[in-house]
Amino acid sequence: MNAGEAYSFVQYLANKSSSGGFIKPEYFTDLMQRAEMEFVFKNYNNNKQYARNEATPIYGFGMSQRMRDNLRPYKKTYVFTSLSSGSATLPSDYLHPTGFFADYYSSSSSTSTTESLDCGIPAFPRKNATLVYSTTAKSVEVKLLEDDEFGSRVGSVTRPPNNEYPIAKFVGNTAYFAPTTTSRPTLHYIKKPDGAIFGYTLDANGDAVYNPTTSKDWEAPVDCHNELCTMICQYVGIHVSSDTITEFSRYKENTGI
């Protein structure tokens, strides 16, 4: 559903005429964006749902095709084209990593032998040997480590990082790499939502009329839009102190339909 349909649907569920759940149109953009961020958080990995001795939440990215599809619109790839002393700035919309790789080039040599006729006498061929060099490129994993392990590996004598086995750490909005010559680090990640917008104009009665030109829809798959509306209804139910709206929203979320 588009932003206008979402607005109408939530207004219908909130039943503005009897419960007082009317949402002012200027608030709906913020509600859409907060619901979408919560949707991404829940579908990636909600750490509040971890059980003791069990590091698996109720919902977790990668646990099923459904969860992967839910977050597919938020997956993005970023190539660090240049490193400054082994560091680079993370993309501004970065949230969580899903994969991290770099290019590794290995060289090899082989001997190529050719035969030629010496002075035109076929019985005495002469062999010419040529040394041929070739370079092979492959993708290798960049191991993303915490500060202590990163420092330990950098200072390791037996297991230092190299271009075939590079490592990285994230501090603030900066990525640090070892070795500093890591080639084309490529980060696959979950990005922040672009931010849905409910654009509208007011008619003669002061009612909001959906404007598709100034609106931006949710990035989430279309079959998740009801869930996002349900999240908004939870916010509305709390705001207007309506137990009916809140309980309905929780029921829809718990049953997943």
Question: Is the domain of 185 the same as that of 118?
Answer: yes
Provide the domain count of the chain.
Answer: 2
What CA–CA distances, in Å, run from 150 to 87, 104, 155, 158, 247?
13, 20, 9, 14, 47
Which of 191, 217, 245 is the C-terminal boundary of a domain? 191
**What is the 3-class SS of 78-116, one letter each residue?**
EECCCCECCEEECCCCEEEEEEEEEEEEEEEEEEEEEEE
Examine the fold and report which residue of 160, 191, 222 is the final residue of a domain before the chain moves on.
191
DSSP state letter for 158: S
- Helices (DSSP H) in the chain: which residue ranges? 3-14, 16-19, 25-44, 65-71, 147-154, 225-239, 243-255
Does a structural domain hold residue 235?
Answer: yes
Are 141 and 109 contained in the same domain? yes
Distance CA 130, CA 126 (A): 13
| 78 domain residue, yes or no | no
Residue 228: inside a domain, yes or no?
yes
Q: For residue range 54-100, list pLDDT tens digits in order.
A: 555 444 566 678 888 999 999 999 999 889 999 999 999 999 999 99
Asked whether residue 123 is domain-assigned, the answer is yes
109 and 54 in a common domain: no
* Rounded distance between C-alpha atoms, residue 5 and residue 125, angstroms: 84
Judgement on whether residues 104 and 185 belong to the same structural domain of the protein: yes
* Residue 209 maps to a domain: yes
100 and 179 belong to one structural domain: yes
Inside any domain, residue 86: no
pLDDT tens for the 257 residues of the chain, in order: 999 999 999 888 776 544 445 688 999 999 999 999 999 988 887 655 555 555 554 445 666 788 889 999 999 999 998 899 999 999 999 999 999 999 998 866 556 566 655 555 555 555 566 666 667 889 999 999 999 999 999 999 999 999 999 999 999 999 999 999 999 999 999 999 999 999 999 999 888 999 999 999 999 999 999 999 988 888 877 554 555 555 655 545 554 54
Which of residues 143, 169, 191 is at a domain's end?
191
Give the 3-state secondary structure of residue 241.
Answer: coil
User: Residue 236 in contact with residue 14, Cβ under 8 Å?
Assistant: yes
**Are residues 179 and 118 part of one domain?**
yes
Q: Does 83 map to a domain?
A: no
Which residues are paired to 121 by β-bridges?
118
> Does 215 lie in the same domain as 168?
no
Identify the bridge partners of residue 216 per DSSP, sorted by sequence position: 197
Do residues 247 and 171 share a domain?
no
How is residue 159 written in tokens?
A: 């297991």
Spatial separation of the C-alpha atoms in residues 21 and 42, rounded to whole Å: 25
Please indicate, yes or no, whether residues 154 and 169 belong to a single structural domain of this protein: yes
CB-based contact 200:209 (threshold 8 Å): yes
Q: Which of 196, 215, 227 lies closest to 74 in space, CA to CA?
A: 196
Tell me if the pTM is above 0.85: no
183 with 217, same domain?
Answer: no
Is 226 part of a structural domain of the chain? Answer: yes
Residue 48 domain boundaries: 3-70+194-255
